[in-house]
């Protein structure tokens, strides 16, 4: 999708060969110190992701103004370490220039307020060997989707060489050809970043497919596409785009990345690190843009850049979440509200980042309700409050919690780290991992503590997961998909 058209952008670059920043001062600060501080803050606030199945080798990152998409992008970039990659290939859509095929340009460096990023001119020359890749400067002259990735990369990797590839109108065979051309460049010292926002919703984007506009409809639309990405299903993603007409501006870069991933001897495993909407900030979903951070993890070698095992949340942040959960349960039980009223004014910024969590209610040591979400598709504080209400009033296994029970209810919260796919039960550790089983459109989940409390073996755990999902007890043995995850668990008596 091309959001902007400006034929003046077809002119060439500067004689110096250095591409000057085009959106510094608008999409992100143009002052080096201010920019550095902002990126540091967004990286620090981003959720961690321990126990990835391998080191990141590719990413899908958003490219809006940092005030909107920066926190989501930071969830990806936080996984990188200084010096981890010597080269980064950025696949960017063409928002401004009419472009058939792709352009690697002929700049020698890209400048940001944090310094110059040198272009890997040898790699760029190799890509020009593909008939689809040209050296037009125009498509890169103002392309923000490429530029906004650079400060995050500069802050996390330090020095690296850039391969800037703007992808325009390309057919499926063209995408295959681009993937084939990129494959020789994708070694252990190279990171690939596909730059894309997700749904652009509202009249200014000429996209209003729903009779009723709310966050749930937009997130569900995006989720269909994200599921195809997580499955490395390039054809399925393209079919979804044709059917849904979702306004994902980086469709072409994403499709090229998916096709590239399938060419690898050991295809990477994608993990959804974060998802958010600009409407979460503006409280206006009539005009909203979605952002997803998806990390593709190497499967052929052990992770060399696992996130630190430090606690995701401080004691104060845990207490704040428990207080929100308690208030939400009290509101729902005594006031019969459908959704809790959450005052976000004093909530710590980390708790307003996208997160996933389960809320468990017990009474006298017995389960009284447990509801949660797997994907980080809303701010963690709201996720906890909403799931607390659902655990108290909508767990189908129990009658709703009564007002006379409130003083006896104990609340526990499990904050989830991103799930990742595993090949079999040999990668599953009892007491450490939660597990998700999917087959034939059915899904079931156990939190890490369930298997310990029930004293199940890994095989018994999978049998019970099958039964919970409404599947035959041995359905896990073939055709099922398994994901593991870790959590940070805490309860009211522990803070």
Domain regions of the chain by residue span: 7-297, 315-416, 420-487
Q: Please count the other Cβ atoms lying within 10 Å of the Cβ belonging to residue 455.
A: 8
**CATH superfamily name and code, 420-487:** Hypothetical protein ph0010; domain 2 (3.30.1490.150)
Give me the CATH code for the 7-297 domain, please. Answer: 3.40.830.10
Per-residue pLDDT of 108-147, as tens digits, reads: 999 999 999 999 999 999 999 999 999 988 899 999 999 9
| CB 244, CB 225: distance < 8 Å | yes
Using pLDDT thresholds of 50, 70 and 90, give the confidence band for residue 51: low
Average pLDDT over residues 458-487: 92
User: Closest Cα to residue 276, out of 44, 68, 60?
Assistant: 68
State pTM to two decimals. 0.66
**CATH superfamily name and code, 315-416:** Hypothetical protein ph0010; domain 1 (3.30.700.20)
Q: Tell me the torsion sign for CA atoms 316, 322, 328, 330.
A: negative
pLDDT of residue 303: 46
Task: Inform me whether the pLDDT recorded for 1 exceeds 50.
Answer: no
pLDDT of residue 308: 34
Q: Say yes or no: do domains 7-297 and 315-416 share a fold.
A: no
Burial pattern 327-342, b for ≥16 Cβ within 10 A else e, equals bbbbbbbeeeeeebeb
Helical residues (DSSP H) of 21-120, grouped into ranges: 32-45, 66-77
Task: Inform me whether the pLDDT recorded for 160 exceeds 50.
Answer: yes
């Amino acid at each position: 999708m091309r959001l902007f058209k400006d034929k003046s952008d077809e002119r060439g670059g500067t004689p110096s060969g250095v591409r000057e920043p085009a959106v510094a001062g608008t999409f992100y600060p143009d002052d080096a110190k201010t920019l550095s501080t902002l990126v540091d803050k967004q990286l620090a606030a981003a959720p961690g992701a321990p126990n990835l199945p391998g080191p990141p080798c590719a990413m899908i990152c958003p490219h809006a103004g940092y005030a909107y998409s920066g926190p989501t992008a930071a969830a990806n970039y936080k996984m990188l370490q200084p010096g981890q990659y010597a080269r980064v290939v950025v696949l960017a859509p063409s928002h401004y220039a009419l472009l058939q095929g792709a352009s690697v340009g002929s700049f020698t460096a890209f400048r940001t307020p944090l310094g110059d990023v040198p272009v890997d001119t040898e790699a760029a020359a190799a890509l020009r060997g593909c008939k689809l890749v040209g050296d037009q400067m125009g498509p890169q002259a103002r392309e923000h989707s490429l530029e906004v990735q650079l400060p995050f990369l500069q802050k996390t990797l330090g020095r690296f060489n850039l391969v800037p590839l703007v992808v325009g109108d390309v057919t499926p065979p063209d995408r295959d050809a681009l993937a084939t051309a990129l494959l020789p460049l994708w070694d252990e010292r190279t990171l690939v970043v596909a730059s894309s926002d997700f749904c652009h919703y509202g009249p200014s984007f000429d996209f209003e497919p729903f009779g009723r506009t709310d966050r749930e409809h937009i997130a569900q639309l995006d989720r269909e596409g994200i599921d195809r990405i997580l499955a490395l299903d390039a054809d399925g993603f393209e079919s979804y785009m044709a059917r849904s007409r979702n306004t994902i501006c980086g469709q072409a870069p994403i499709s090229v990345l998916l096709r590239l991933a399938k060419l690898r001897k050991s295809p990477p495993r994608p993990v959804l690190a974060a998802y958010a909407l600009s409407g979460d900030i503006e409280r206006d979903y009539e005009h909203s843009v979605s952002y997803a951070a998806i990390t593709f993890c190497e499967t052929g070698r052990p992770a060399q850049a696992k996130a630190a095992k430090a606690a995701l949340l401080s004691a104060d942040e845990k207490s704040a979440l428990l207080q929100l959960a308690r208030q939400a349960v009290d509101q729902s039980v005594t006031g019969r509200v459908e959704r809790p009223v959450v005052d976000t004014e004093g909530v710590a910024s980390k708790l307003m980042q996208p997160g996933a969590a389960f809320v468990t209610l017990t009474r006298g040591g017995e389960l009284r309700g447990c509801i949660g979400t797997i994907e980080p598709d809303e701010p963690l504080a709201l996720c906890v409050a909403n799931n607390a209400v659902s655990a108290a009033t909508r767990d189908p296994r129990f009658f709703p919690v009564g007002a006379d029970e409130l003083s006896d209810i104990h609340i526990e919260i499990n904050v989830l780290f991103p799930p990742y796919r595993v090949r079999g039960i040999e990668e599953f550790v009892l007491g450490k991992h939660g597990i998700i089983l999917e087959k034939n459109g059915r899904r079931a989940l156990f939190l890490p503590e369930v298997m310990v409390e029930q004293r199940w073996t890994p095989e018994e755990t999978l049998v019970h997961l099958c039964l919970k999902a409404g599947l035959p007890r041995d359905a896990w043995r073939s055709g099922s998909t398994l994901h593991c995850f870790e959590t940070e668990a805490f309860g009211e008596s522990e803070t």
